[in-house]
């Protein structure tokens, strides 16, 4: 029985790691051939014409993610500081709980809400709306990581800061937060990597665009949206581009994720021992 259990454990480990390797392998096999400088810098061309790429989608994604970060990072860190430092009464517990609930809300529902709050009022799709939707999705992750990191700062550091006679807000920002900063940045990068791949919230907010767009108030292309559109199309050429786009997206996201894990050396390494 004991050996059976060990065998079963090994089998499940193989079965779990296999899809991961399969996804990466096929992305490289199907996508690497279509990667080129033209792919990264050109806008899409009509079906049947050669060339064309996803340059506008990559740039559009960057624009939307910049707006999302501008919304998500301050709100997330602010909430994290509130929950960790001003821990009085039941309010921090409720905020933590509701942040976890917000984390679990399906991304399509958040997209629908931002559609009705922003897009319907403005009467047009925009990168701004897309950025708001993604920013809202970043907040719970950043809040939770910031709170965890701030709670890990030893009380002696805080007391030393107060002992210097500086005001409480200054102690919190310049000493406690700075001590926890590497962890907070980790959380921010993880949240960023997560929303970088989200498609559903952008479907009704940023809408997508086949041309270059630098205006925040216009519909904008985004890499995941473009991949989704091309994957569902009936054209072989577009399927090729979808694979290449997916490879670019994966390299960016998984690269960020791996870098974060390797640099922080927590979670995986602590948890596995």
Partner 1 sequence: MAASPLSGSDSISTGSISQTASPLPRIRMKAPSRVADRVFYAVTCICALGIIVIVGLIVYELVIHSEITLRQFGWKFFTGTNWDPVSGDFGALPFVFGTLVTSFVALAIAVPLAVGVAVYTTEMCPRPLRASIAFCTELLAAIPSVVYGLWAMYILVPFLRTRVDPFLIKTLGWTGLFVAPDYGISLFSASVILAVMVIPIISSITREVMISVPQNQREAVLALGATRWEMIRLGVLRNARAGILGAIILGLGRALGETIAVSMVIGNNPQITKSLLAPGHAMATVIALEFSEAATPAYLSALVEIGLALFLVTIVVNAAARLLVWAVTHRMPARAHA
Q: Please report how close the Cβ of residue 189 comes to partner 1 at its closest, in angstroms.
A: 11
- Kindly tell me which residue out of 42, 178, 239, 266 binds partner 1, with binding defined by CB under 8 A: 239
Instruction: Give the contact letters, 92-111, x = binds to partner 1 (CB under 8 A), - = no.
Output: x-xx-xxxxxxxxxxxxxx-
CB of 61 or CB of 213, closer to partner 1: 61
Does residue 90 interact with partner 1 by CB under 8 A?
no
Q: Please report how close the Cβ of residue 265 comes to partner 1 at its closest, in angstroms.
A: 10
HEC secondary structure over 166-204: CCHHHHHHHHHHHHHHHHHHHHHHHHHHHHHCCCHHHHC
Q: Please report how close the Cβ of residue 113 comes to partner 1 at its closest, in angstroms.
A: 5
Q: Please report how close the Cβ of residue 45 comes to partner 1 at its closest, in angstroms.
A: 21
Does residue 28 interact with partner 1 by CB under 8 A?
no
Element holding 26 (H helix, E strand): helix 2-31
- Kindly tell me which residue out of 65, 83, 128, 188 binds partner 1, with binding defined by CB under 8 A: 83
Does residue 185 interact with partner 1 by CB under 8 A?
no
Give helix 127-152 / helix 91-104 axis angle, nearest 10°: 130
Does residue 184 interact with partner 1 by CB under 8 A?
no
CA end-to-end distance (rounded Å), the chain: 25
CB–CB of 205/119 below 8 Å? yes
Q: What is the longest distance spanned by two Cα atoms in the chain?
A: 71
């Amino acid at each position: 029985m004991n050996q059976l259990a060990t065998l079963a454990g090994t089998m499940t480990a193989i079965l779990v790691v296999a899809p991961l390797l399969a996804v990466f392998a096929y992305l490289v096999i199907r996508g690497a051939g279509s990667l080129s400088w033209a792919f990264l810098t050109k806008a899409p061309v009509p079906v049947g014409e050669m060339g064309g790429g996803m340059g506008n989608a990559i740039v559009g994604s960057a624009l939307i993610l910049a707006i999302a970060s501008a919304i998500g990072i301050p709100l997330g860190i602010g909430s994290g500081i509130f929950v960790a430092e001003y821990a009085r009464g039941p309010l921090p517990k409720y905020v933590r709980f509701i942040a976890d609930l917000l984390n679990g809300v399906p991304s399509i529902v958040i997209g629908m809400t931002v559609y009705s709050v922003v897009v319907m009022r403005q009467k047009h799709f925009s990168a701004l709306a897309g950025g708001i939707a993604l920013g809202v999705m970043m907040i719970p992750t950043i809040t939770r990581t910031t709170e965890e990191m701030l709670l890990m700062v030893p009380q002696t550091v805080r007391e030393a800061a107060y002992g210097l006679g500086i005001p409480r807000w200054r102690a919190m920002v310049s000493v406690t937060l700075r001590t926890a900063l590497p962890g907070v940045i980790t959380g921010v990068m993880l949240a960023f990597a997560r929303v970088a791949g989200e498609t559903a919230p952008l479907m009704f907010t940023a809408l997508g665009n086949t041309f270059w767009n630098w205006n925040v108030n216009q519909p904008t292309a985004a890499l995941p949206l473009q991949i989704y559109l091309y994957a569902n199309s009936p054209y072989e050429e577009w399927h090729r581009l979808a694979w290449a786009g997916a490879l670019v997206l994966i390299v960016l996201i998984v690269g960020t994720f791996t870098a974060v894990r390797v640099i922080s050396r927590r979670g995986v390494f602590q948890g596995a021992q």
